Chains A and B, each alone.
With several copies, the nearest count.
Chain A
Amino acid sequence: MIKVVYLGKLADIAREAQSDFASTSDGLGWAGLLDLLESHGSTELADAVRADTVKLAVNGQLLADRALLDARDGDEIALLPPVSGG
């Protein structure tokens, strides 16, 4: 199982704070994640996540490049839109 956590506005668009997706023997890459979000979620969600400003973290480690995504069973992917903190 791979957990996907939606932060900020993405949680509204996903209508949930997180999703659990079944893992396959192959790793889950960036294109595969977008496919999952579109099929299990919505096109709107996949488009919102595709925006350049959304960053990814895997198990609390920020990815320098989303193309490096290779999530395995038990991993947690966080989808991080631009912050508006302080």
Chain B
Amino acid sequence: MLDIRLIEGIFSPAGALHAFTAAHGEAGGVASFCGQVRPGGGVEALELTHYAPLTLAGMEDIVQKAQARFVLDGALAWHRVGTMMPGEPIVLLAAAATHRRNAIDAVDFVMDHLKSAAWFWKREKRSDGWHWISPREADHEDIARWR
């Protein structure tokens, strides 16, 4: 099962993961990663802009690459867009597989690619207004691991 979504409001990672795991009772295991808006550093809000004609198709492409590379029973990739507050979830990934290494590696692979190859633009609100976030060098190093 592939479950790939762009989400405009807040969502419950635990609820999503529970449903995904229940749908994959045949798998040996489920790996997941949930990224959340980090509080502190003066960040009051985070905004993710996307470009609808590319973004969801791009996420699907990344997850399909993961499916082609790792033996998976299913994968989930939910990504918030819009404005979110510190502590709120931004992205939830999950992969179910017979062998745990495939599940863990698939989550790792999809997260690296979402970071540097998915069509999201991020800005942070601080006390002095909004600031665009530039791509981090580390993100490009992370994706290079998979080549």
Task: State in angstroms the CA–CA spacing of A81 and B139 once bound together.
Answer: 16
- Which chain A positions have C-beta within 8 A of B54? 57, 60, 62, 78, 80
Task: Tell me whether A78 and B51 are in contact (CB under 8 A).
Answer: yes
Report yes or no: A9 in contact with B121, Cβ–Cβ below 8 A. Answer: yes
Q: How far is the CB of A44 from chain B (nearest CB, A)?
A: 15
Number of A-B contacts (CB under 8 A): 65
Known contacts A8-B132, A9-B132; is-contact A85 B120 (Cβ 8 Å): yes
> Ordered nearest first, which 7 A-B pairs have the shortest CB separation?
A85-B120, A60-B53, A8-B121, A86-B115, A84-B133, A86-B114, A84-B122
**B-contacting residues of A (Cβ < 8 Å)?**
5, 7-9, 11-12, 57, 59-60, 62, 76, 78, 80-86
Residues of B within 8 A of A (CB): 35, 48-49, 51, 53-54, 57, 90-91, 111, 114-123, 132-136, 139
